[in-house]
A and B are shown apart, each in its own frame.
Chain A
């Protein structure tokens, strides 16, 4: 059974992101990038399933410019068997990405599409769901446990009330939540070997996808600054300060 795993190159989660002075987005030049952490979890899960004999092939796929090759190389170091690079230098919106992934999924004949529940750059949380809708297949989002059995996937999700277990027919989309697993450390020798592996390159045109522009970002702004706190000496002072701010 084959799985397709989408991996996105994003600003590293340790970087303190800065908004561009014109508010058109955040500064990404000269900033460390790495694989979206939820996609690492998706890669890890796929690799574990393959180690258990539940998958036979893992294909990593990304959309983006030349630098995205690094992200695919990381996926290969994780244990992906093949890597597909959908080359596109400009911005790609979730719906366009979903169309491309849906086309690739069909072409590859993969039974499972693994994706992170969201990418930490735009936090859109849409792509996996839209791939399922476009192909009219089942989806199990926010997975915290995944089992593959024959033509089905059993997926546990953390919901407000506790745990929910879904059984979905394959092919299906599974998006990964934080507690699904803890991704392994990539080994330096594996990273080196991954550098030598071939990467297939395709374009939107090859996949028959047109790049849409359904939404425009009108403004990006930094979170409001925390205003300075005040020091209170007694409980009475605390109560009156809270009252004066209308908080109690």
Chain B
């Protein structure tokens, strides 16, 4: 078979041997996205050492061969979508390296126990031999391509976790989470993956070593400022949170967090988002940093979940409670003997004066299932309606989130009464997922431009961001260029010129192809 026409192809092939993959049936997987149009590529590069990543970058710079970066391929903003470029997949850089306790004692994973049960058992044996000391403050150093769930499998026996709770955690890689500042449903408590990252190392796009890069630990968000905002990169964090625009994370030291001894949750019906945010304030007032999740679910989202599960669906209320919005409040405690259920009840029945029949209570797993079925339910509805979907992931500072979301729902209803809006998301950090579903008669493609414009205008008018935590990628490049203040664009252009002057990495992300040409 002839080599694809990449200037760097012969040297890349020499470097990687069999791990330079060009067979169409093997590269196909890298062309198909979790969400968004299909891409195309002629080669997938599978480095298995950090040094190989650096060599790849050097070769690609020398030959001006751009790349797209790929981890677990769950990204939602088409950053990993190739349009001809080779795909640099970090999936083989997936080893746990070491775990360090707060007092400095360190476990290093041996090469023969570097994955799965063997890796977990090796760590557990070491920890048991030490007498199972409290692992508070422990950090774990891993390669970028380790999946979030795989990391948690290692940490669980030590009663620790990497609290990145999201529907994609079985495949999403920790390096991508740190790079994208991914925020899960518990971001209100633990912050984004960027905050959970103590240090990251890797290479700038030009192949120069990068790091140690440091972020700051999470503190309760200032209500007047963004808690999550993909459209704002913090240059001081280096590779962390910069979405693969300037460099590649190859290795990270991550903070670990105690698995709570107890958790309790309730579903709370509310009339509007402004009222919902008052409940967040009240919950914070009572439970402080033990508010672990604060999510909202619109009536339409709840109806879709109901339809998805059919007979098996059980609304956790005594009667059939209907409401424009529901909140999922989850609290935690480190104390196994605390009466957390009683504390939750006092809050709901006492502080909020909710009548008993308005308290939605069920085993945590059942409530979680409702929340985590929304995407699947929306997918099913989209297929059934046959009119496509527009999806947005927006954020505002907390102080304005309630008004913003109420206004957004009203505006969309007015502008496109024939579409269905499914709204849900991370109310605790001011994040909203908005799915607009068309029908076969009225496909969203017909109104896509107008509605996108509307969503962005309403969001910006409320001081919000059109990309909360999923990143900019190439999906939001136009909006990024159009709505970012020019001095900010100059800053990131300068960063790009310093670290990736030939625009080798994800060349269309953030619109760098155009920004550098300008």
Contact = CB atoms under 8 A, between A and B. Distances in A.
A178 to B, nearest CB: 15
Given A18-B157, A225-B117, A188 B365 contact: no
B257 interface: no
Interface in A12-40: 14, 16, 18, 21, 30
A188 B266 contact: yes
A185 B359 contact: no
Nearest to B341: A191
Contacts of A14: 365
B269 to A, nearest CB: 14
Nearest to B125: A21
B363 A185 contact: yes
Contacts, number: 37
Given A185-B362, A185-B363, A186-B361, A21 B345 contact: no
A195 interface: yes
A185 B128 contact: no
Contacts of A18: 157
A185 B361 contact: yes
Contacts of B261: 30
Identify which of A21, A30, A192 gathers the most chain B CB atoms within 10 Å of its CB. Answer: A192
Interface residues of A, number: 14
B336 interface: yes
Contact of B342 (A16, A21, A186, A192): A192
A179 to B, nearest CB: 14
A170 B422 CA distance: 54
Contacts of B159: 30
A5 B345 CA distance: 28
B448 to A, nearest CB: 41
B316 A192 contact: no
B287 to A, nearest CB: 16
B339 to A, nearest CB: 8
B233 to A, nearest CB: 39
A21 B117 contact: no
A188 B336 contact: no
A243 interface: no
Interface in B324-359: 336, 341-342, 344-345, 348-349, 356, 359
Interface string B421-446: 00000000000000000000000000
Contact of A187 (B156, B318, B336): B318
Contacts of A30: 159, 261, 336
B366 interface: yes
A187 B341 contact: no
B361 A192 contact: no
Nearest to A189: B356
Interface string A187-204: 111011001000000000
Interface in A28-73: 30
B372 interface: no
Contacts of A21: 128
A21 B361 CA distance: 38
Interface of B is mostly: helix
Given A30-B336, A195-B342, A187 B356 contact: yes
Nearest to A21: B128
A185 B349 contact: no
Contacts of B266: 188
Nearest to B153: A16
Contacts of B336: 30
B453 interface: no
Interface in B218-270: 261, 266
Nearest to A182: B314
A187 B363 contact: no
A188 B342 CA distance: 8
Contacts of B314: 185
A120 B336 CA distance: 22
Contact of A188 (B117, B128, B157, B341): B341
Nearest to B116: A228
Nearest to B261: A30
Interface in B109-138: 117, 128
Interface string B140-184: 000000000000000011010000000000000000000000000
Contacts of B316: 185
Identify which of B356, B359, B365 gathers the most chain A CB atoms within 10 Å of its CB. Answer: B356
A187 B361 contact: yes
Nearest to A195: B342
Given A30-B336, A195-B342, A189 B362 contact: no
Interface string A157-197: 00000000000000000000000000001111101100100
A86 B159 CA distance: 33
Contacts of A188: 266, 341, 344-345, 348, 356, 359, 361
Contacts of B344: 188
A105 to B, nearest CB: 30
Nearest to B314: A185
A18 B345 CA distance: 33
B359 A189 contact: yes
A185 to B, nearest CB: 4
A184 to B, nearest CB: 9
Nearest to B266: A188
B435 to A, nearest CB: 28
B345 A192 contact: yes
Given A14-B365, A21-B128, A189 B349 contact: yes
A213 B326 CA distance: 53
Interface in A136-170: none
A225 B113 CA distance: 14
Contacts of A187: 318, 356, 359, 361
Interface in A195-230: 195, 225
Contacts of A189: 345, 349, 356, 359
Nearest to B348: A188
A188 B341 CA distance: 7
A123 to B, nearest CB: 22
A192 B348 CA distance: 12
A195 to B, nearest CB: 7
A195 B316 CA distance: 21
Interface in A103-130: none
A75 B314 CA distance: 21
B515 to A, nearest CB: 44
A168 to B, nearest CB: 31
A64 to B, nearest CB: 17
Q: Which 5 A-B pairs have the closest CB atoms?
A: A188-B361, A185-B362, A189-B356, A188-B345, A192-B345
6 contacts: A185-B362, A187-B359, A187-B361, A188-B348, A191-B341, A191-B345
Given A192-B341, A225-B117, 11 more contacts: A16-B156, A30-B261, A185-B362, A187-B359, A188-B341, A188-B345, A188-B348, A188-B356, A188-B361, A191-B341, A195-B342
Interface of B: 117, 128, 156-157, 159, 261, 266, 314, 316, 318, 336, 341-342, 344-345, 348-349, 356, 359, 361-363, 365-366
